[in-house]
A and B are shown apart, each in its own frame.
Chain A
Amino acid sequence: MTDILYIYAIAFADIEPAGPLGTGIGDEPLLMVSAGGLVAVAGSLPAHPSADTETLKRQDAVVRRLAGLFPALLPVRFGESAPDVATLISRIAPRESELTAALNLVRGCVQMTLRVFGEPDPAPEPGPAISGGPGARYLETRRREQEALRSLPEIGALSTALRPLLRAERIERHGDGPLLGTAYHLVPREGTAAYLAAVEEARGRIGGRRIAATGPWPPYAFAPEGVP
């Protein structure tokens, strides 16, 4: 049984952590693996961890601690590992520019998550007619559908009130059920009180819908997407 190198987070290489890294989800000592201008924080585990809620909470606690030690940190998804250091570096190196841009975005910020419950707005009027042949029309229709899944006009008044307080926003609209959608907000670390106050203040202006705000979290939702 060979150990795996289990990966927790990515940070800039040229900045020392503000304290000891501590241990990971298996009480293993954490180490930093350099990959170009970046470092990966990892630990050696005997086996791939399984995704039960206790383990997930433990990993979140590790990532939180790391986020407090580095000015900019990207959490890595649960379950990511490499067989050895060389493989780990080979996974990170080709994505250095993408990861660097994401690190620069999240520097000094935390994630606040807003869950929105309630009814969707009535279906909007169809957009302007699409020009072009059937292939172009198909792609444009699909593009509009994708765009709709990244928007929540139902909380427009709230979004407007929050916008000056955000570094970035990412929205996921869900299909059905009481959970209408989720807004992930990137907020400067010292701005969370103002953010929550603004949420409280605008809470009554979203057509009777209800919201649950949680956070601050490390910036999980602002890591680059899987496929560039």
Chain B
Amino acid sequence: MLPRILKATIKGLFYFFILYVVPSFLISQMSETAPGLFSSLTGLVNLFVIVIVFFVVASELTSGTIFQHAFNVGKAIILIVFFVLALGGGVVTLDVERIHLFADLRVVLGMLIVIDLLSLAKSVLQAVNFLLDRAERQLPTPKPAG
């Protein structure tokens, strides 16, 4: 159990660094050139990091069980919902002082959903494969005839 916790901690910290520290640094850098434009992204980035780190740690802690695949399926579904909500269904609007910005990101949202659907399919197949392996292991070993 201890190596599993250690592995989950390291993985969680790695994802936290990649998904939170680096983007936060980039956002703060870009906010200097366009104040107000990127600062509104901070809340979304935080929520995204919380979701990802939670599922990575949970998946790691439950690795080798069916719950690992359940968490992976849950992660894929929640990320689809997250991306749809975060991107406003693909239409992003932003108001900075007297400037109104509108961007149609439906293509990007479509790509994100395709990726998450593939992840979902992969997780489901892994779950089926896991159950098949377990069922095969529980079958009685055939004895030679005679």
* Chain A bound to chain B: no
